[in-house]
A and B are shown apart, each in its own frame.
Chain A
Amino acid sequence: MSLNYAVAMLLFALGIYCLLSKRNLIKMIMGLGIMTDGLHLFLISLGYRAGGIAAILTGEMLAGGGDLAARAVDPIPQALVLTSIVINICIVALALSLAIHVYRHYGTLNPFEVRRLRG
């Protein structure tokens, strides 16, 4: 049981706890962000090689020596997580603008009261 997987599951569980038990829309959006961070850490840790280096050719490896293919970590989960981080930015921006709209319309940020007021 390694540290990476344990911290990723802890972050995911913390995010779900925020979504379940907070009564403020902004705090629930923060919980969404924490959950996504845990998931990204889990995805990147899946492609780790013991004693590996980053998948970038630098220095003396460019001159023809060195064996990157036998020592580097997996590059595919890192590329997919790059895409996922940008999409997370878009989701949080749209969710925050909708929260501002809800506040201007209903006067409160509590999702249970918003369900009762109904315009």
Chain B
Amino acid sequence: MRRAVALSAVLFLGALLLLAVNLYLPPFGSFPERGLGGFEGRSIGQHILEEAPRATGSANIVTSVVWDYRAYDTLGEATVLFTAVCGVVMLFRALGRRGR
């Protein structure tokens, strides 16, 4: 019974998502002419593609976005990794001591 309800809910959600993707997104493969939500200006990705090798000095543009244009986000991600490792080690230390 629960499995039938879950399957029907998921099929309904899948149909809804496919309909929304067809109606509201720009066609697949149209990178600079986006117009998402009525925005008609110049895409920031195009601006970074033109300027990144000269301004940052690295040939890999994705790495220059990760470490130069968005360095704060990568610092936050390193903090999240550090916190998760601390949490896992602390949880298993408590488990070992209680199991005695």
Contacts and interface: CB of A to CB of B under 8 A. Distances in A.
Contacts of B10: 13, 16-17, 20
Contacts of A94: 84, 87-88
Contacts of A80: 73
B49 A68 contact: yes
B73 A83 contact: yes
B80 A87 contact: yes
B interface, over-half SS: helix
Contacts of A91: 84
Interface in B8-29: 9-11, 13-14, 17-18, 21-22, 25, 28-29
Interface in A17-65: 17, 20-21, 45-50, 52, 55-58, 62
Interface residues of B, number: 48
Contacts of B17: 9, 12-13
Nearest to B73: A83
B7 A21 contact: yes
Interface string B83-99: 11001100110010001
Contacts of A45: 28
A8 B18 CA distance: 10
A117 interface: no
A78 B62 contact: yes
Given A49-B31, A73-B31, A94-B84, A55 B49 contact: yes
A5 B25 CA distance: 10
Nearest to A55: B61
28 contacts: A1-B22, A13-B11, A16-B10, A17-B6, A20-B6, A45-B28, A47-B31, A49-B30, A50-B29, A55-B60, A56-B61, A57-B53, A57-B60, A68-B49, A68-B53, A74-B43, A75-B48, A75-B61, A76-B45, A82-B62, A83-B74, A89-B84, A90-B84, A94-B88, A97-B88, A97-B92, A100-B95, A104-B95
